[in-house]
Structure 1
Amino acid sequence: MNVTCVFAHQDDEKECLGTLLRLRRERGARISLIAVTNGDKGASWDPSKPHAEVAAERDVEMRAVAAALDASYVCLGEPDGFLLDGPAVRLALIEALRVTAPELVFTHNLADYNEDHVVTARLTCHAALLAAIASVGTATPALAASPAIFHTDPGPGHGFDGTHFVTFDEQVADEKARIVRLHASQMAVMRELRGVDYADLARDADRATGARLVAPYAEVFRPCLMERRIPTASLLP
């Protein structure tokens, strides 16, 4: 089973990381990670730090995450905070999807607090369809079928109506926290902002979602409802 994550930034994969760990453990999933932007605005509290240095640091962190998942990783290199849809980035994503050949794609919700996330979600929905259309030419041949898409939970306040839950236990939660903390630069940013890091916040959110099912932890998703990109529940653990 091939699973590809398409997210705007390095660290956004935390929204489905528990599910990825279960898919890898239980189904031998081959995981691919795609970051659309280079994350170069990630030194949120330090305007003196060069953007190229920040992007390089986040690239190293993301490659460590990919190694922990035995996953491939590619960055499309768009500017963090200024992502716009257009022919070049759309073709780059179509090519990346053709190379990874996923059956299942995770991406952001179509409504989200971050515009990079929203643009990435739209890009992914369109690129997933176009990746199977041979008249859209890239270096890699068209896919036999468009991959199915699940949207991740953006948190409260965005009208997210999650319908598909994946539960997990303490062992998976601990491994998720360990991998999330490989994004060391972003953990520091979040501790400055909220006093806790992303791993702590994710564990709290997953515990609250799990409580809805009387389970220790869970992540929740919403299926893409666009024709030829609609997933089935059996794709999830």
Structure 2
Amino acid sequence: MNIVCVTAHQDDEMNCLGTLLRLHRERGDRISFVALTNGDRGASWTPDAPLAETAAVRAAEMQSVADAFGGTYVCLGEPDEFLFDTTDVRMRLIETLRALSAELIFTHNPAEYNQDHVTTAQVTCHAALMTEIASIPTSSAALARAPGIFHLTPGEGYGFDGTHFVALPPEIVAEKSRLIRLHVSQNEVIRERGGRDFADRMEERDRATGARIAQDAAEVFRPCLLDRRIPFGNVLP
């Protein structure tokens, strides 16, 4: 199966990395990553950081994650924290999903703490349906079927009602942490601000999620319920 993780920023994929690892290792699924922004505001508390340099660092970090899957990384290059739903963004995402032959998408929840995430969720839900509409021409042919969508949890406090759980065995937890730490620049920022990096925080969340289903660790998702974008539940491990 061709699976595409569509997120706003480089590192947002950490909310489904364990599931992607299981799908890739257990079924041989092809994993691709798409970021709508270039991440150039990623040096969050360094006002004089050159935006182009920050974007280049984050691109290299994201590529290293994609390489771990033998997968593809595509960046639409929109400015970080200034992502808008435009005709151009829609058309480029439609073409990207077609070119990757997307069958299943993981993306943000429509209710989120970051507006780039919200916009990404909205654009992705629309673009997914448009991939099968032949009267919207792009360089790649229309897909025979619109891909299904699972939404990523934004954490507590946003009304996320997760229904689909994927257990993460110890070796997947360890590899997920390793991949998250490939985003060196972002882990440095979060560690400086809070003492723990993203990998530590995600492992804590995954263990709390796992406890809900009597597992050591797990990730949780919500299916998109929009017509023709509802995924089959049995596509998850």
Cα separation, 2, equivalents of 1:166 and 1:75: 27
SS at match of 1:18: helix
Q: Which residue of 1 aligns with 2:90?
A: 90
Q: Which runs of 5+ in 2 are unaligned?
A: none
Amino acid at match of 1:155: G
- Measure how far apart 1:59 and its partner are: 0.5
Give the corresponding residue for 2:118: 118
Matches within 5 A, 1:1-237: 1-237=1-237
| SS in structure 1 of the partner of residue 36 of structure 2 | strand
1:192 shift after superposition: 1.6
Query: Which SS does the other structure have where 1:124 is aligned?
Result: helix
Per-residue Cα deviation, 1:40-98 (whole angstroms, up to 9, x for no partner): 00001111110000000000101111111111000000000010001000000000000
- Give secondary structure in 2 for the equivalent of 1:156: coil
Matched residues in 1 for 2:17 and 2:150: separation? Answer: 13
Distance 2:114 2:66 in 1: 24
With the length of structure 2 as denominator, give the TM-score of the two structures. 0.99
Equivalents in 2 of 1:162, 1:78: separation in Å?
29
Q: Distance in 2 between matches of 1:164 and 1:194?
A: 30
Deviations 1:197-218 (A, max 9, x none): 0000000000000000110110
Post-superposition, which runs of at least 4 consecutive aligned residues in structure 1 deviate over 4 A? Answer: none
Deviation at 1:224, TM superposition (A): 0.2
Shift of 1:194: 1.4
Q: Which runs of no fewer than 5 residues in structure 1 stay unpaired?
A: none
Distance 2:103 2:54 in 1: 33
Tell me how far 1:155 sits from its aligned partner: 0.2
Equivalent AA in structure 2 for residue 16 of structure 1: C
Bigger Cα displacement from structure 2, 61-70 vs 143-152: 61-70
Scaled by the length of structure 1, the TM-score of the pair is 0.99
| Number of corresponding residues | 237
Question: Could you tell me which amino acid in structure 1 is paired with residue 200 of structure 2?
Answer: D
Residue 168 of structure 1: how far off its partner (Å): 1.1
Three-state SS of the structure 1 residue aligned to 2:16 is helix
Percent identity of the aligned residues?
Answer: 60
Structure 1 residue identity aligned to 2:13: E
Q: Which amino acid aligns with 1:184?
A: V
Query: 1:9-51: CA deviations, max 9, x gaps?
Result: 0000000000000000111000010000000000011111100
1:182 and 1:64 mapped to 2: Cα distance?
A: 7
Please tell me the root mean square deviation across aligned C-alpha atoms, in Å.
Answer: 0.5
Give 1:193 deviation, angstroms: 1.9
Aligned residue identity for 1:216: D
Distance 1:194 1:94 in 2: 38
AA aligned to 1:44 is S
Q: Quick one: distance in 2 between partners of 1:90 and 1:195?
A: 38
State the distance in 2 between where 1:169 and 1:211 align.
13
* Paired residue secondary structure (1:219): strand
User: Residues of 2 paired with 1:159 and 1:52: CA distance?
Assistant: 36
C-alpha separation between the residues in 1 aligned to 2:97 and 2:194? 35
